Structure 1
Amino acid sequence: MSRPVYFEPEESMAYHGGEDVMHALMSIAGRYIGANPPHPPVYRVSRPGLVRKCDDHRYVFPLVELFPNMQRGQQLYAWAKLWSDSDQEFVFHITCFGPARLYHNGVLIYGSAPEEEYPEMPVLKLKCGLVKGWNHFVLEFKLGEKGGGGQFGTGSRKNKPLHFIVPTFERDGEEGWLYTEPLDAPLSEIPSGPMREKDTGVNWLPREEDPEKASSHGQLARMYGLTSGLSAYAWTKISGTKCGVETVLISGEAYSPIEFSVEGKVVFHQEQAGCFRFELPLSAAVQDLTVKCTCGDRDWGFRMDQTTQELLTPALDVKGHRGNWLYLGPFQAEQEIDLASCQKMKRTVRSGTGEDVYWRTEVPDGEVRPFLENEWFGRWNYPLGVTLYGLLQLGKAGQRSNIRDYVLSHIEFASSRFSYSLWDRERYGAAGLNNQLSQIDSLDDCGSFGATMLLADQERKLDGVSETAAHIADYILNEQARLEDGTLYRKIGVSRSMDNTMWCDDLYMSIPFLCRYAEWSGDDKLLDEAARQVLLYKKYLYIPERQIMSHVFDVERGEPTRTPWGRGNGWVLFSISELLTALPQEHPSYTVLIQFYRELCEGYLALQGRNGLWHQVLSDPESYEETSCTSMFIYAYARGVRKGWLLDPKPYAQAAYQGWKGLSERSIDKRGNVYGVCRGSSYSFTNHYYKHELGWNLNDTHGIGIVLLAGLETISMQEWQTNKPVFAAERVGTREKLEKSSF
Structure 2
Amino acid sequence: MNLFSKIFLGIGGTAVLTGMSLKVFPQENDGLSVAKKVADKVIADTHFAFTLVPQKEVLGLQVVDFRSLRPVSGQQVYAKSKLTAINDTVLSFGLSYAGQISIWINSKPVYDGENSVVKIPKEISYNRFTFNQRFSAGLKKGDNEIVIRYTAVEPRLPVVFLMPATKEGDLDAAARFSSGIKEESQNTSWMLLGPFNKMRQLNMQARLPDYLMEGTGVLNWVKSPQRFIPELETPATAAYQRDPYTDWHYSHGAMVWSIMALDTDGKYSAFAKQYIDFTLQQIPYFVYQYNSLFAWRGSYHRIFRRTMLDDTGAPILPFAEWLLREKNAAVKELVMPIANYVANEQHRLKDGTFCRPEPVEFTVWADDLFMGVPFLLQMAEITGDRKYYDDASIQVVNFRKYLLNSATGLYKHAWFNDKRQQSAAYWGRANGWVAWANAELLAKLPRKHPAYKQVLRNFRQEMKALIAYQDKNGFWHQVLDRPDSYEETSCTALFTIALARGVREGWLSAAYKKNAHAGWEAVKTKIDENGVVYGICQGTDIGYNQEFYMKRKTINNDPRGMGAVITAGIEISKLRK
Please indicate, yes or no, whether the TM-score normalized by the shorter chain is above 0.5. Answer: yes
Match of 1:405 in 2: 270
Q: Secondary structure at the match of 1:31?
A: helix
State the alpha-carbon separation in 2 of the partners of residues 413 and 150 from structure 1: 35
State the alpha-carbon separation in 1 of the partners of residues 30 and 54 from structure 2: 50
Match of 1:654 in 2: 514
Match of 1:453 in 2: 319
State the alpha-carbon separation in 2 of the partners of residues 417 and 207 from structure 1: 24
Percent identical pairs in the alignment equals 28
On the 8 A contact 1:143/1:149 being kept in 2, the answer is: no
* 1:183-262 to 2 correspondences below 5 Å: 204=222
CA deviations on 1:247-270 (whole Å, 9 max, x unpaired) are xxxxxxxxxxxxxxxxxxxxxxxx
State the alpha-carbon separation in 1 of the partners of residues 83 and 378 from structure 2: 51
CA deviations on 1:353-396 (whole Å, 9 max, x unpaired) are xxxxxxxxxxxxxxxx7554554243111111111122111244
Q: Secondary structure at the match of 1:448?
A: coil
Match of 2:146 in 1: 143
- The yes-or-no answer on 1:696 pairing with 2:546 is no
The Cα of 1:660 is off from its aligned counterpart by 1.0
- The yes-or-no answer on 1:545 pairing with 2:414 is no
What amino acid does structure 1 have at the position aligned with 2:367?
D
Match of 2:193 in 1: 181
Among candidates 416, 429, 454, match of residue 294 of structure 2: 429
Match of 1:60 in 2: 63
Among candidates 321, 331, 336, match of residue 470 of structure 1: 336
Among candidates 516, 522, 528, match of residue 669 of structure 1: 528
On the 8 A contact 1:63/1:149 being kept in 2, the answer is: no
State the alpha-carbon separation in 2 of the partners of residues 632 and 687 from structure 1: 21
- Bigger CA radius of gyration: 1
What amino acid does structure 1 have at the position aligned with 2:255?
T
Match of 2:576 in 1: 718
Q: Secondary structure at the match of 2:314?
A: helix
On the 8 A contact 2:409/2:465 being kept in 1, the answer is: yes
Distance change (3 Å), C-alpha of 1:207 and 1:514: closer
State the alpha-carbon separation in 2 of the partners of residues 207 and 672 from structure 1: 44
CA deviations on 1:671-711 (whole Å, 9 max, x unpaired) are 211111111111234322111x3222111101111101001
Distance change (3 Å), C-alpha of 1:207 and 1:28: closer
CA deviations on 1:86-129 (whole Å, 9 max, x unpaired) are xxxxxxxxxxxx6347xxxxxxxxx87664877359xxx9xxxx
Q: Secondary structure at the match of 1:557?
A: coil
- The yes-or-no answer on 1:578 pairing with 2:443 is no
The Cα of 1:484 is off from its aligned counterpart by 1.8
Q: Secondary structure at the match of 1:702?
A: helix
State the alpha-carbon separation in 1 of the partners of residues 45 and 38 from structure 2: 11
Match of 2:16 in 1: none
What amino acid does structure 1 have at the position aligned with 2:44?
G
Among candidates 37, 40, 64, match of residue 27 of structure 1: 37
- The yes-or-no answer on 1:616 pairing with 2:478 is yes
State the alpha-carbon separation in 2 of the partners of residues 518 and 484 from structure 1: 23
State the alpha-carbon separation in 2 of the partners of residues 713 and 377 from structure 1: 24
On the 8 A contact 1:481/1:489 being kept in 2, the answer is: yes
Match of 2:254 in 1: 386
Match of 1:259 in 2: none
State the alpha-carbon separation in 2 of the partners of residues 176 and 373 from structure 1: 24
Q: Secondary structure at the match of 1:437?
A: helix
On the 8 A contact 2:413/2:424 being kept in 1, the answer is: yes
Please provide the CA RMSD for this pair: 4.0
The Cα of 1:602 is off from its aligned counterpart by 0.2
State the alpha-carbon separation in 1 of the partners of residues 474 and 395 from structure 2: 31
Distance change (3 Å), C-alpha of 1:538 and 1:141: same
TM-score for the superposition, normalised by structure 2: 0.68
* 1:66-81 to 2 correspondences below 5 Å: none
CA deviations on 1:528-558 (whole Å, 9 max, x unpaired) are 1111111111111111222221111011110
Distance change (3 Å), C-alpha of 1:20 and 1:488: closer
State the alpha-carbon separation in 2 of the partners of residues 376 and 609 from structure 1: 34
State the alpha-carbon separation in 1 of the partners of residues 62 and 36 from structure 2: 42
Distance change (3 Å), C-alpha of 1:587 and 1:427: same
Distance change (3 Å), C-alpha of 1:406 and 1:156: farther
Among candidates 77, 82, 85, match of residue 99 of structure 1: 82
What amino acid does structure 1 have at the position aligned with 2:557?
N
What amino acid does structure 1 have at the position aligned with 2:93?
P
State the alpha-carbon separation in 2 of the partners of residues 452 and 156 from structure 1: 32
Among candidates 306, 309, 334, match of residue 443 of structure 1: 309
Q: Secondary structure at the match of 2:415?
A: strand
What amino acid does structure 2 have at the position aligned with 1:649?
A
CA deviations on 1:136-183 (whole Å, 9 max, x unpaired) are xxxx9943599999669xx999xxxxxxxxxxxxxxxx9989955389
Q: Secondary structure at the match of 2:391?
A: helix
Distance change (3 Å), C-alpha of 1:141 and 1:377: farther
CA deviations on 1:300-341 (whole Å, 9 max, x unpaired) are xxxxxxxxxxxxxxxxxxx97xxxxxxxxxxxxxxxxxxxxx
On the 8 A contact 2:323/2:332 being kept in 1, the answer is: no
Among candidates 523, 530, 545, match of residue 686 of structure 1: 545
Q: Secondary structure at the match of 2:261?
A: helix
State the alpha-carbon separation in 1 of the partners of residues 277 and 406 from structure 2: 43
State the alpha-carbon separation in 1 of the partners of residues 535 and 493 from structure 2: 11
On the 8 A contact 2:76/2:149 being kept in 1, the answer is: no
Q: Secondary structure at the match of 1:61?
A: strand
Q: Secondary structure at the match of 1:181?
A: strand
State the alpha-carbon separation in 2 of the partners of residues 417 and 424 from structure 1: 11
The Cα of 1:563 is off from its aligned counterpart by 2.0
CA deviations on 1:501-553 (whole Å, 9 max, x unpaired) are 10111110110000001101111221111111111111111112222211110
State the alpha-carbon separation in 2 of the partners of residues 502 and 382 from structure 1: 17
Q: Secondary structure at the match of 1:119?
A: strand
Match of 1:528 in 2: 390
State the alpha-carbon separation in 2 of the partners of residues 587 and 433 from structure 1: 41
The Cα of 1:25 is off from its aligned counterpart by 2.2
- The yes-or-no answer on 1:487 pairing with 2:487 is no
Match of 1:95 in 2: none
* 1:287-298 to 2 correspondences below 5 Å: none
On the 8 A contact 1:551/1:564 being kept in 2, the answer is: yes
| 5+ residue gaps, structure 2 | 1-24, 96-126, 128-142, 151-159, 172-185, 195-206, 212-218, 235-242
On the 8 A contact 2:47/2:233 being kept in 1, the answer is: no
- Between 1 and 2, higher relative CO (CA 8 Å, sep ≥ 6) is seen in 2
On the 8 A contact 1:390/1:708 being kept in 2, the answer is: yes
Distance change (3 Å), C-alpha of 1:461 and 1:177: farther
The Cα of 1:460 is off from its aligned counterpart by 4.4
Distance change (3 Å), C-alpha of 1:448 and 1:57: farther
Distance change (3 Å), C-alpha of 1:498 and 1:659: same
On the 8 A contact 2:424/2:543 being kept in 1, the answer is: no
Distance change (3 Å), C-alpha of 1:678 and 1:593: same
State the alpha-carbon separation in 1 of the partners of residues 39 and 410 from structure 2: 31
TM-score for the superposition, normalised by structure 1: 0.54
